[in-house]
Amino acid sequence: MAHITHFDLASDARFALVSSSPSSFSVRFGRREVFVCRDSYVRRYRVNPVIECSAGVEPGHVEILLFRRWLLVLSKARG
């Protein structure tokens, strides 16, 4: 069963504006969370046009950039 939860990433500058946008949401699957938002971060390197994976901004997070537009952040659920 999926639960929609609030995923607070406002402490990081990359997500401060995106976390309050209407095109972002978070889904919790058991002990894991998936945060999805539009990506507005300007990268200084060339990214793969389909999928790009990297370490997240916090330990235990994984960022997946889809089609240079959508950012998925995978993490452990809090509390």
- Which of 66, 20, 60, 12 is closest to 39 using CA atoms? 66
Amino acid 36: pLDDT? 93
**Are 73 and 9 spatial neighbours (Cβ–Cβ below 8 Å)?**
yes
Domain boundaries defined on the chain: 2-76
Residue 1 has pLDDT above 50, yes or no: no
Confidence of residue 11 (pLDDT cuts 50, 70, 90): very low
Q: Is the pTM of this model over 0.85?
A: no
Using a 10 angstrom Cβ sphere, with 0-12 exposed, 13-18 middle and 19 or more buried, the burial of residue 14 is middle
Work out the pLDDT band at 73, boundaries 50, 70, 90.
very high
The pLDDT value recorded for residue 8 is 47
